[in-house]
Amino acid sequence: MVKIRDARFAGSIYEKKERLLEVAVAGRSNVGKSSLINALLNRKSLVKTSKLPGKTRNINYFRVDLVDRPSLYLVDMPGYGYAKVPRGMVGVWERLAKRYFLANADLRLLLLLIDIRRDMRDEEWIALDLIRHTPAKAVVVATKTDKVSPSERQRKANELHAACGNLPIITSSSKKWGMDQIWQAIIEALPS
């Protein structure tokens, strides 16, 4: 469906140069944001992953040049909600997210990642509320779904659907489940 010509790190929020449409990837620490971006781009280590949560502390841009479609940025947001991060970091994340979401005319889509084994918490609701104040669309993406049984996967997907009103995209970065559906959501969010 989508063919990628090239993908590369383009800098942090303070370094990016060219204006392109943006797709933000947000979620709690250790939810699999970096792994999902690598899986989407069919790369093993373009985005650095870590077993330790809270490693991404900045907004990082990855330029994606597509075949027969405009280039875009996949934006790796810092994780939130990690217990060992100082208490003040939650407020820092919220201020950073507000500035990024609300003052960003290039943002077209938020991929809000939620570990299928966890429930939605305040930070997910904050992100969904912020995105409602922008022209961008939000899509809930359930991650790590290969770590639960099929019946548990379906039950949790139904719970997420009931909680936030849209059916989540079921993904597993290691098994590459759901990548076509995410690309479809990205393409639908971009102007034709």
Q: What is the pLDDT of residue 83?
A: 45
Q: Decide if pLDDT at 52 tops 90.
A: no
- Determine the average pLDDT of the residues in 62-79: 93
Strand partners, 28: 80
pLDDT per residue as tens digits for the range 81-123? 644 555 555 567 678 788 888 889 999 999 999 999 998 888 8
Cβ–Cβ < 8 Å for 190, 68: no
H-run or E-run covering 26? strand 21-27
Q: What is the pLDDT of residue 87?
A: 57
Phi, psi (deg, nearest 5) at residue 20: -135, 165
Q: What is the pLDDT of residue 29?
A: 85
- Calculate what percentage of the chain has a pLDDT beyond 90: 59
Q: Decide if pLDDT at 56 tops 80.
A: no
pTM above 0.85, yes or no: yes
**Residue 154 to residue 156: CA distance in whole angstroms:** 6
**Residue 45 to residue 39: CA distance in whole angstroms:** 9
Helix boundaries (H) for the chain:
33-40, 88-102, 122-132, 150-164, 179-189
- Could you state, in order of their start, the residue ranges of all structural domains in the chain? 4-189
CB atoms within 10 A of CB 42: 11
**What is the rounded average pLDDT for all residues in the chain?**
87
**Residue 41 to residue 44: CA distance in whole angstroms:** 9
Residue 175 vs residue 54, higher pLDDT:
175
Q: Decide if pLDDT at 169 tops 50.
A: yes
Q: What is the pLDDT of residue 57?
A: 60
Q: Both tokens of residue 164?
A: 């936030």
- Measured CA angle at 144 (ends 12, 78), to 5 deg: 20
Give CA torsion, residues 113, 118, 122, 123, to 10 deg: -30
Q: What is the third-level CATH fold of 4-189?
A: Rossmann fold (3.40.50)
Q: How confident is the model at residue 6 (pLDDT cuts 50, 70, 90)?
A: very high
pLDDT per residue as tens digits for the range 116-164? 999 888 888 888 988 898 999 999 999 999 999 999 999 999 999 999 8
